[in-house]
Amino acid sequence: MTTAAADRSRLLALIGSSWRTQAIYAMVLLGIADRLCQGDPVGLQELATEVGADQGALRRLLRGLRVLGLIRESDAGFALTPMGQLLNSGDGGESLADWVRWWAGDLQWRTWGALTEAVREGRPMRERFAPASGYEVHAASAGAAHVFHSAMAQLSAAVGPAVIACLRGAAACKVIDIGGGRGELLGQVLLARPETTGVLLEQNHALPTAREHLTQVGVIARCTVAQGDFFREVPAGADIYLLKSILHNWADAQAERLLRECRRAMKADARLAVIERAIDDDSPHEADVRADLNMLVGLGGLERTVNELHALFERCGLRACSVFDAGEYRIFLCRTGM
Ligand SMILES: C[S@@+](CC[C@H](N)C(=O)[O-])C[C@H]1O[C@@H](n2cnc3c(N)ncnc32)[C@H](O)[C@@H]1O
């Protein structure tokens, strides 16, 4: 193939890549991974009956999923590949099924369709397709809120061990997870530190999912699930504050307001663990760019570079004493600047 023909073919693949998202979404909504994870390969007819699909159409979807590396086919029938296994909803901390439900769902899908307007106007587009803007949208539907908080938890689950590893120090202490979602990170920290107590600070729509999760993992007795607005008040007196995937939701003015509130709440020896992506402007990773544009179109936030994050901390009287790698994220361990 000539270079021009290869470019054309690659471009056509990029233009049409929405098929991938929707094929994966269909796989999750139909419950294909949930059925196939149960053991032996399953034949087409049986699978079509069990997931409630047209046999001919399902065969074509399965062929697409095979091309994506999620399904394999043998004489015995269809089975999941190890990557496809990650779409099984019952796969504990490993599953990404709720992330698919959120990312490919109606609100996200339609919002991304307005990226051009977001770039023209420099403002987020979520409110165009939802009854409210920003996180207020989750107040309108308990079901949608549950999907969002479970989806976030599926991303956060992987950073727990790195956060625990960098939080050495007194075993008996108090941790506050600011905007902690359903408490995935806080739950992991409390499980790893049996003498530590915790507070999850969140908006109302997150609280039922958080109580359910923290009860399920067995730490609710050492944990307060508190409704609050982190722009108004971050509770004082904790030894460790966690702030994961919060700053990227907000433009600089609001991010500074929140960090100043954290600074005000922190004792002289308290630590603030900020967990964020750090975008590399010279050689950006696709995952960081995707997250950044997602912030632009949905919430009006942004992914920042390491230098931008350090500058933000400094303007708010905080200093990141250590920075740790945690997969796609970095952990900035901050102290009050003095
Ligand atoms: C991107 S999610 C991150 C959740 C969690 N920290 C994680 O990483 O899994 C941002 C969270 O901030 C919460 N949030 C947004 N505005 C808030 C506010 N003003 N006060 C408290 N929580 C807020 C949202 O409800 C949402 O759960």
Convert the pLDDT of each residue in 94-107 to its tens digit: 899 999 999 999 99
Contact 176, 199 (CB under 8 A): yes
**162 SS3 class:** helix
Please give the pLDDT value at position 91.
67
Mutate to test the pocket of ligand 1, among 146, 249, 292, 294 (most ligand atoms within 8 A of CB): 249
Domains contained in the chain, number: 3
Measure 151 CA to ligand 1 centroid, in angstroms: 13
Amino acid at 52: G
Say if residue 248 is in the same domain as residue 109.
no
Say if residue 171 is in the same domain as residue 134.
no
Say if residue 123 is in the same domain as residue 246.
no
Catalytic residue, candidates 149, 248, 285, 310 = 248
Measure 275 CA to ligand 1 centroid, in angstroms: 13
Domain range for 225: 150-336
Q: For residues 255 and 268, give the distance between their C-alpha atoms in angstroms, rounded to a whole number.
A: 21
Q: pLDDT tens digit string along 150-186? A: 999 999 999 999 999 999 877 779 999 999 999 999 9
What mean pLDDT is predicted for residues 107-111? 95
Say if residue 177 is in the same domain as residue 140.
no
Known catalytic residue at 248? yes
Measure 314 CA to ligand 1 centroid, in angstroms: 23
Say if residue 168 is in the same domain as residue 141.
no
Model confidence at 60, pLDDT cuts 50, 70, 90, reads very high
Which of 37, 70, 85 is the last residue before a domain boundary?
Answer: 85
List residues bridging with 71 in a β-sheet. 80
Model confidence at 137, pLDDT cuts 50, 70, 90, reads confident
For the ranges 2-6, 17-21, 41-45, 70-74, the lowest mean pLDDT is seen at 2-6
Mutate to test the pocket of ligand 1, among 225, 227, 241, 245 (most ligand atoms within 8 A of CB): 245
pLDDT, greater one: 40 or 171: 40
Q: For residues 128 and 124, give the distance between their C-alpha atoms in angstroms, rounded to a whole number.
A: 9
Please give the pLDDT value at position 338.
58
What's the distance, Cα to Cα, between the start and end of the chain in Å? 62
Arithmetic mean of pLDDT over the chain: 95
DSSP string, 82-136: HHHHTT-TTSGGG--HHHHHHHSSHHHHHHHTTHHHHHHHTS--HHHHSSSSGGG
Say if residue 128 is in the same domain as residue 244.
no
Give nearest CA residue, ligand 1 atom 3: 245
What mean pLDDT is predicted for residues 126-146? 87
Which of 45, 62, 85 is the last residue before a domain boundary?
Answer: 85
Which of 40, 66, 85 is the last residue before a domain boundary?
Answer: 85
Q: For residues 71 and 85, give the distance between their C-alpha atoms in angstroms, rounded to a whole number.
A: 9
Say if residue 24 is in the same domain as residue 114.
no
Atom of ligand 1 nearest to the CA of 231: 19
Atom of ligand 1 nearest to the CA of 152: 9
Say if residue 221 is in the same domain as residue 254.
yes
Say if residue 192 is in the same domain as residue 174.
yes
Say if residue 233 is in the same domain as residue 168.
yes
Pocket of ligand 1 (CB under 6 A): 135, 152-153, 156, 179-181, 184, 201-203, 206, 228-231, 244-246, 249
Say if residue 110 is in the same domain as residue 183.
no
The domain that contains 175 carries what CATH number?
A: 3.40.50.150
The domain that contains 34 carries what CATH number?
A: 1.10.10.10
Atom of ligand 1 nearest to the CA of 249: 1
Buried b / exposed e along 172-206 (16+ C-beta atoms within 10 A): ebbbbbbbbbbbbbbbbbbeebeebbbbbbbbebb
Q: pLDDT tens digit string along 205-244? A: 999 999 999 999 999 999 999 999 999 999 999 999 999 9
Give nearest CA residue, ligand 1 atom 20: 229
* Angle CA 247–268–160, to nearest 5: 45
Please give the pLDDT value at position 266.
96
Measure 291 CA to ligand 1 centroid, in angstroms: 16
Say if residue 62 is in the same domain as residue 133.
no
CB half-sphere exposure, 253, CA atoms < 13 A: 1
Can you say how many angstroms the Cα of residue 94 is from the centroid of all Cα atoms in its chain?
A: 13
List residues bridging with 73 in a β-sheet. 78
Query: What is the pTM assigned to this prediction?
Result: 0.94
Q: What percent of the chain is helix, strand and coil (3-state, nearest 5)?
A: 55, 15, 30
Can you say how many angstroms the Cα of residue 151 is from the centroid of all Cα atoms in its chain?
A: 6
Atom of ligand 1 nearest to the CA of 242: 6
* Angle CA 38–42–45, to nearest 5: 135
Q: For residues 330 and 257, give the distance between their C-alpha atoms in angstroms, rounded to a whole number.
A: 22
Instruction: Answer whether residue 189 shows pLDDT above 90.
Output: yes
Mutate to test the pocket of ligand 1, among 102, 163, 199, 203 (most ligand atoms within 8 A of CB): 203
